Amino acid sequence: MYLVLSIITILVAVLLIGIVLIQKSKGGGLSSQFGGAGNVMGVRQTNSFLEKATWTLAALIVVLSIASSFSLRSESKADTRFSAPAAPAPAAATTTDAPAAPAAPATPAN
């Protein structure tokens, strides 16, 4: 799921880059390229469309980033490759007040 969300995020980012590059900062941009097409799609309508597309794609990138963050977190919990191995439990300390009994001397075999 994380891979799919990452690919969609990259595609949306490329589209956002394209939309931003079409625009000009002083109100020109795509609308100035179509001087004779003002009857069909006026300057305001073109700028309005590009602005709406920019904000929509930017919001979509934010939503996809949050979704991929949650997806990565849930996949890493389910996948044990990414989790740290459990630390072994410390051995219980055995303390005795009396020393161990000495071993019996070995008897020689005849």
Per-residue pLDDT at 37 exceeds 70: no
The total number of structural domains that make up the chain: 1
19 found inside a domain? yes
| Structure-block tokens of residue 66 | 């949050």
* 58: nearest Cα among 27, 17, 2, 89: 17
60 found inside a domain? yes
Please indicate whether residue 56 or residue 30 has the higher confidence score (pLDDT): 56
What length does the chain have? 110
| Structure-block tokens of residue 51 | 């602005």
**How high is the pLDDT of residue 81?**
55
69 found inside a domain? yes
Q: How many CB atoms lie within 10 A of CB 31?
A: 23
**How high is the pLDDT of residue 108?**
72
Residue written as token pair 């939309």: 19
9 found inside a domain? yes
101 found inside a domain? no
87 found inside a domain? no
97 found inside a domain? no
Query: pTM, whole model, 2 decimals?
Result: 0.53
Distance CA 44, CA 31 (A): 8
52 found inside a domain? yes
- Which residues span the domain enclosing 59? 2-23+41-78
